[in-house]
Amino acid sequence: MSLSLLTKLDQGMPGYEFTSGRYASYYLGYIYQENVAKDLEKAKAN
């Protein structure tokens, strides 16, 4: 959902303001931090 919102914001579609993009970016960053970053720590430990 966040990726589609950011895509629509980049395309300049009406009804999608920068605040929505800010929230979408926050959620994607949180998901990345919780999933990908932890896997990197595990990979470095092995």
Residue by residue, pLDDT tens for the chain (46 residues) are 778 888 888 888 777 777 788 888 888 888 888 887 676 666 666 5
Q: How far apart are CA 33 and CA 7, in angstroms?
A: 21
| pLDDT at residue 19 in the model | 79
| pLDDT at residue 28 in the model | 84
Asked if 9 and 20 count as a contact pair (C-beta separation under 8 A), the reply is: yes
One-letter identity of residue 4: S
Q: How far apart are CA 35 and CA 7, in angstroms?
A: 22
Q: Structurally, how many domains does the chain consist of?
A: 1
Range of the domain at 24: 2-45
**Sign of the C-alpha dihedral computed for residues 23, 24, 30 and 34 taken in this order:** positive
